[in-house]
Amino acid sequence: MDTPTLDAQIGALKDLRLDAASRSRDLAERELGGRLLRLEAEQAALQGSLSKSEAEKRARVDPRYLEHERETIRLTFERERVLAEAESTLLNVKLQMLVLERTTV
């Protein structure tokens, strides 16, 4: 199996970094969505004449909120996987550049 060219690896690194940035933006938007879900659950619990602290506790275990958090965890893992792949590609590019530098001297 041939090693991809340095240009191809740099292009792949750029794509991975853009993918990670997009995933980070999506996760930030999800965080806001999670806050809104929790607030809605808390407001619904307050309508049922619960105390503020009891409503907060109930909101933290709301099934919709918990599912949202589970999916956020999965998406965070995927973003971290992309970042790890980008780091690996970067190290490979640096290694190849070092080899080229030493062989052209």
88 inside domain? yes
Residue 101 placed within a domain: no
pLDDT band at 48 (very low <50, low <70, confident <90, very high): confident
Spell out the SS3 assignment of 35-65: HHHHHHHHHHHHHCCCCHHHHHHHHHCCHHH
Q: How many CB atoms lie within 10 A of CB 65?
A: 21
Residue 104 lies in a domain: no
The answer to the question of residue 1 being in a domain is no
In total, how many domains does the chain have? 1
pTM of this structure: 0.83
Q: For residue range 83-101, what is the model confidence (pLDDT) as tens digits? A: 999 999 999 999 999 999 9
* In-domain check, residue 56: yes
Q: In the chain, what percentage of residues exceed pLDDT 70? A: 98
Does residue 38 lie within any of the structural domains? yes
1 confidence band (pLDDT: 50, 70, 90) = low
pLDDT band at 105 (very low <50, low <70, confident <90, very high): low
Residue 105 maps to a domain: no
CB 15 within 8 A of CB 83: no
Q: Which domain holds residue 61?
A: 6-96
Establish if 44 belongs to a structural domain: yes
